[in-house]
């Protein structure tokens, strides 16, 4: 096949995601509408989603409907193949359950890693006339990679996991080479590559709870590796072949100023070229900071009609009040994280924020106190504020918070051992509950 074959790489949609108990459903609906239009305009032949389609192993009916409506729309309006692998947030069984129906809609979903490496290969547009081979390797759990033995050290477990991942990709690459089908090999995966930049919206627990792997686990036979799991778009570990598309929405306030994007992988003959396209913001996430006596002035600077902030160069709030990260004027009302300096109680600040927001076209989702020098606890715990309540659905975050306050930060060995042990226990419980 000699014509250009165009693939769109995306990941980490996290449909069903909440931000401080607020639904992201409308943002996701607008993103999916935009995505269908983009696929049509860019003449995309295949859309590959590298894991974390859903934010939960048990998505709500409304969340599943959003996904299935998208699949149907894509099938009806664009001649585009959809390829989805499971991420660590997804339930492999739940994703694969409607597989037969989805295949009739030109969608291929891989939840569990195939026992036969050859079955992980998908030739597009067909095996008879392939433009590209796609290695559909989903998120790999501890049980997929090794057999546990009593008395293993953390380093032995880590080495076995890394070897297991490398073996998976090597086996798939060898199957492709043995097929003698003359087309580039594109890999898919959902994992962490060392040297990549993370954000606070990623869970600390990765494969087996034991951290990252080098980009060297992907053999040279791969022309491009489409990754998910990390939410900031970037190349991974200094390897230009290996790329995270990032999440299409900012999933936490730590991503408020990030550019969100998708990757277009153009395959012509044996050549692969990659470009990126920006995802438009559908809602601004704004991070404001101010002194305790400037709360009202800072919030008054948020423009009524969008996500901007008034003041010099659109950055500084009048009256010496504070600064902002993020911006733009997306269609949905802005959500705000406000960091306030010392000088007033939490109760007083919360009431002033409530009054300042009455009748406004923005909402403050989070108020936190500025971290004071020498404090070992997060801002939200200072002045009696309790962060644990907002973390109730994230055991890993609760554990990390408790570890922060109880174990010497210099004792990396103890912190690492405790984190790994907790990660393994949590993964076991989550697996039992799937």
**How far is 377 from 180, CA to CA, in rounded Å?**
58
- Cβ-proximal residues to 339 (8 Å cutoff; 6+ apart), any chain: 287, 288, 289, 290, 368, 369, 370, 379
**How far is 49 from 189, CA to CA, in rounded Å?**
10
Structure tokens at 222: 């791969």
Q: Express each pLDDT in 191-240 by its tens digit.
A: 999 877 776 666 544 443 455 789 999 999 999 999 999 999 999 988 89
Give, as one character, the DSSP assignment of residue 272: E
Q: Express each pLDDT in 325-371 by its tens digit.
A: 444 478 899 999 999 999 889 899 999 999 999 989 899 999 998 87
Can you give the pTM of this predicted structure? Answer: 0.81
Residue 294: strand, helix, or coil = helix
Q: Is the pLDDT of residue 413 over 80?
A: no
Bigger pLDDT: 159 vs 412: 159
| Residue 121 parent element (H or E) | strand 121-124
Closest by Cα among 381, 398, 313, 382 to 342 = 382
Phi and psi torsions of 101, nearest 5°: -65, -45
| pLDDT given at position 400 | 67
| pLDDT given at position 302 | 85
Is there a contact between 254 and 19 (Cβ–Cβ < 8 Å)? no
Alpha-carbon 378 to chain mean position? 23
33: left (phi over 0), alpha (psi -120 to 50) or beta: alpha
Closest by Cα among 431, 396, 417 to 139 = 431
Bigger pLDDT: 161 vs 432: 161
For range 247-261, the mean pLDDT:
93
The neighbour count for residue 355, using CB atoms within 10 Å, is 11
Residue 309: strand, helix, or coil = strand
**End-to-end CA distance of the chain, in Å?**
42
Q: Express each pLDDT in 287-331 by its tens digit.
A: 999 999 999 999 998 864 444 444 322 233 333 344 444 444 788
Q: Is the pLDDT of residue 45 over 90?
A: yes
237: left (phi over 0), alpha (psi -120 to 50) or beta: left
Structure tokens at 358: 């009455």
Residue 419: strand, helix, or coil = helix
Structure tokens at 60: 């709500």
């Amino acid at each position: 096949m000699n014509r250009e074959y165009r693939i769109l790489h995306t990941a980490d949609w996290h449909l069903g995601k909440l931000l401080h108990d607020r639904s992201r459903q409308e943002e996701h609906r607008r993103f999916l509408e935009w995505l269908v239009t983009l696929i049509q305009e860019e003449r995309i032949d295949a859309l590959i989603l590298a894991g974390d389609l859903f934010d939960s192993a048990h998505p709500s009916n409304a969340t599943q409907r959003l996904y299935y409506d998208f699949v149907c729309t894509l099938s009806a309006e664009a001649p585009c193949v959809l390829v989805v692998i499971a991420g660590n947030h997804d339930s492999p069984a739940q994703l694969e359950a409607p597989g037969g129906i989805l295949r009739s809609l030109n969608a291929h979903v891989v939840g569990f890693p195939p026992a036969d490496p050859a079955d992980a290969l998908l030739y597009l547009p067909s095996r008879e006339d392939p433009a590209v081979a796609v290695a559909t390797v989903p998120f790999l759990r501890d049980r997929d990679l090794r057999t546990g033995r009593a008395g293993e050290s953390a380093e032995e477990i880590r080495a076995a996991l890394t070897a297991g991942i490398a073996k998976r990709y090597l086996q798939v690459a060898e199957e492709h080479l043995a097929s003698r089908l003359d087309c580039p090999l594109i890999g898919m995966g959902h994992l962490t590559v060392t040297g990549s930049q993370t954000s606070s919206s990623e869970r600390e627990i990765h494969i087996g709870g034991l951290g990252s792997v080098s980009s060297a686990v992907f053999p040279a036979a791969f022309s491009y590796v489409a990754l998910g799991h990390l939410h900031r778009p970037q190349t991974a570990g200094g390897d230009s072949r290996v790329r995270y598309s990032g999440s299409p929405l900012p999933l936490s306030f730590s991503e408020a100023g990030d550019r969100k994007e998708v990757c277009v992988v153009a395959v012509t003959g044996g050549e692969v070229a990659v470009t990126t396209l920006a995802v438009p913001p559908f809602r601004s996430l704004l991070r404001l900071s101010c002194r305790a006596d400037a709360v009202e002035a800072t919030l008054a600077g948020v423009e009524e009609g969008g996500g901007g902030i008034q003041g010099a160069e659109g950055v500084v709030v009048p009256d010496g009040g504070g600064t902002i990260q993020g911006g733009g004027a997306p269609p949905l009302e802005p959500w705000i994280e406000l960091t306030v300096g010392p000088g007033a109680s939490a109760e007083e600040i919360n009431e002033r924020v409530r009054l300042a927001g009455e009748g406004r076209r923005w909402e403050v989702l989070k108020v936190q106190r500025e971290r004071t020098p020498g404090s070992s606890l997060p801002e939200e715990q200072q002045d009696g504020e309790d962060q644990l309540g907002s973390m109730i659905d994230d055991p890993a975050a609760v554990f990390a918070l408790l570890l922060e306050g109880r174990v010497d930060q210099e004792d990396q060995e103890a912190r690492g051992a405790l984190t790994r042990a907790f990660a393994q226990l949590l993964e076991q419980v989550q697996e039992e509950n799937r």
